[in-house]
A and B are shown apart, each in its own frame.
Chain A
Amino acid sequence: MSVSGLYVGHTKGIEMIFNELKRLDYVVVGYKVEEDVLKLRELNSFEELASGVEDVQNPGRYYLVRGKFSRHGPDSLKRFFYPPTLTLFSISPKWDMSMPDYVNRKIAFLGIKPCDLVALKVLDRVLLNVDEYYTRLRRNTALIIENCTAPGNTCFCATMSTGPRARDSFDLAYTRLDSRLVLEAGSDLGLRLLSLLEVEPIDDSTYRDFETVMRKASEKARAGFELSELPELLELNIGSKAFKEVAGKCLGCANCNMVCPTCFCFDVLDVPKIDGFADRVRVWDGCLNFTYAQVAGGHFRSDLWARYRHFVLHKFTYWIKQFGTYGCVGCGRCITWCPTGIDLRESVKKVLRGDVDE
């Protein structure tokens, strides 16, 4: 929810926002170029925020070039509130249990995209006030969103209604229009940040530009299928051979699970120490992993196609029944970071069309 309406300022304002967040003792996290990839990292100075680069994303391909607009990398906010490895508790030989002290630092995310904001809302539905670790780490978070003026080739946020413009649940959202910056506040913190900048209420011509850019972005970020009836249709086609055909390219590496900003499955490992202490450690797991549905007496999804089918149906069908929302936000990461370039959009269409090479 916008609480301010739209204002216009200058792109220099982003640095002022950064400085104010630092002054308010926030750890500021944004996309930074590391090893030729955009990575979500703590930013010590504003200069570290990726600028002048563009991430080119295609099925199975990711590289950076000089450009005006950067979207995202393999990291999402999931890493921060639901880390890839997390010690649940440590236990002494005498059974004294202690939970590590998860300090909830004030974290501000700067320049994350609307799809990732919605992914966080999805994770909140799954884990907030349910999982004590997530709930603890999730407190004191500020969200400064950069609306997406140039979706990439694997993006389909418009189809999933998660972007390219953030609609609610942000502190501040901004949109770059050449050197102009369109801003709207969504909270008291957002209003406070906005009041530092030199802004004017949006004028007609800027508003038209803003609308045009957002409309064009929206037209680009489409998957080629519609959401209406998708959950039911996928389920009715649960026996489709398309799953088998698509999974023929799948390696079962679970990259898609790892880069997905909403995948929440975990495994628990026991780490005994030489001194009789032991840790229980939570690690990310994914439904494409071979052991995911394995039990001591057998295996519920030993075939890769069945695991791939579960992934697709969980995102678009089961998730709705479980949490009242889609599990997919259309960020396209699972397409980009799939080593063999399996395109989720094409998989869904293939199942819906039912055209499979026999």
Chain B
Amino acid sequence: MSRASASLIPMKTVITRVRVETENVKTYYVRLPEGVELPKPGQFNMLYVHGVGEVPISVSDVDADSRAVAHTTRFAGSVTRTFALLKEGDIVGFRGPYGVGWPIELVTNKNLVLIAGGIGLPPLRPVIREIARNRSAYGKLIILYGARTPKDLIFSYEYREYESIPDTELLLTVDVPSEEWKGNSGVVTNLVKVVNVNPDETYAFVCGPEVMMRQATQELLRKGFKTNRIYLSLERRMKCGVGLCGHCQMGPYFVCKHGPVFPLWFISKYFWVDQI
């Protein structure tokens, strides 16, 4: 079969590894089909489950040597709920990589604040890995992450690793603390208030539920961040991933094609409009 630039036909591939993250989140490593380029941080792929459907999932890790790409998924919708049944060796369909990712090249010699909410951390994880790999190329790294409860904190097994990256801070918060929880509670936006960086020398990458991104963005603006220093990874309904089906439009932008990562200045005319 021919494959047009905007092909809607998936390529067959295999799940090489499944990792349980939380009660309703797992990470699926999928082998990249032949001829497919390595996804960049912030890009996503369309994963197809036979006879069930297709969903857009951001890339949470790339293993260049084995050409395995991680997709961290919460079982939330009709398709992702069936992901819970998938195991190593199962076949899935793959299309991608799609979209515009995080502009890491801009952050050279600058500080970076990552603000993640819930399932918004996985798309930022490749950024953390990139900075860890080329530590001297970047300034200070601050990771702010909030989840609903301590049990919902994704990748908790590697927080020590994050903290051991030189000149790096990790601040966690939960909406609903448990008895054992000693850390911050409340929304992740509160953590933005305590960040102490020079906004002219710093970029902010934000990923999470839309409400949280709005609040975090307002807080960053209050701190003096300019609209060309704030980048957001937007979420929308996506059925095609290639700018054809129309569902992911935000104003004139197809989030799947022009995004999902946008600088705030680019979308500020629409971002604040109710139900745009």
Contacts and interface: CB of A to CB of B under 8 A. Distances in A.
B54 interface: yes
B275 A314 contact: no
Contact of B254 (A95, A97, A322): A322
A153 interface: no
Nearest to B54: A268
Contacts of B76: 296-297
Given A95-B50, A265-B247, A88 B239 contact: no
Interface in B61-106: 76-78, 80, 91
A91 interface: yes
A16 B51 CA distance: 50
Interface residues of A, number: 49
A229 B268 CA distance: 21
A294 B50 CA distance: 23
Interface string B202-244: 0000000110000000000000000000000001110110001
Interface hub of A295, A313, A317 (most chain B Cβ within 10 A): A295
Interface string A299-317: 0111100100010011001
Contact of B9 (A89, A130, A287, A302): A89
Contacts of A301: 275-276
B273 A272 contact: no
B165 to A, nearest CB: 30
A239 B244 contact: no
A294 B237 CA distance: 6
Nearest to B80: A296
B166 interface: no
Contacts of B275: 300-303, 306
Contact of A297 (B8, B52, B209, B269): B209
A53 interface: no
Interface string A231-250: 00001001100000000000
A156 interface: no
Interface string B140-172: 000000000000000000000000000000000
Contacts of A303: 275
B245 interface: yes
A266 B244 contact: yes
B52 to A, nearest CB: 6
Nearest to A126: B244
A293 interface: yes
A127 B254 CA distance: 15
> Which residue among B76, B78, B247 has the maximum number of chain A CB atoms within 10 Å of its CB?
B247
Contacts of A239: 273
A98 interface: yes
B240 to A, nearest CB: 7
B2 interface: yes
A266 B77 contact: no
Contacts of B269: 235
A288 to B, nearest CB: 12
A306 B274 contact: yes
A293 B236 CA distance: 7
Contacts of B91: 95
A285 interface: yes
A273 B247 CA distance: 27
Contacts of A278: 50-51
A131 interface: yes
Nearest to B246: A265
A327 to B, nearest CB: 11
B12 A95 contact: yes
Interface string B248-276: 01011010000000000000010001111
Interface string A251-268: 000000000000011111
Nearest to B258: A322
Contacts of A297: 76-77, 209, 235
Contact of A321 (B210, B235, B252, B274): B252
B1 interface: yes
A346 interface: no
A356 interface: no
A295 B240 CA distance: 14
B6 interface: yes
B256 to A, nearest CB: 13
Contact of B245 (A129, A235, A268): A268
Nearest to A267: B239
A310 B249 contact: yes
Contacts of B245: 265-268, 285
A270 interface: yes
Interface of B: 1-2, 4-10, 12, 50-54, 76-78, 80, 91, 209-210, 235-237, 239-240, 244-247, 249, 251-252, 254, 269, 273-276
Given A93-B50, A131-B244, A306-B276, 9 more contacts: A88-B8, A89-B9, A127-B244, A270-B52, A280-B54, A285-B245, A287-B246, A295-B235, A301-B275
19 contacts: A99-B9, A130-B4, A131-B4, A131-B6, A235-B269, A265-B245, A266-B239, A266-B240, A266-B245, A268-B245, A272-B52, A285-B247, A295-B77, A295-B235, A295-B237, A297-B77, A300-B276, A314-B249, A318-B252
- Top 3 A-B pairs ranked by shortest CB distance? A296-B77, A265-B246, A278-B51
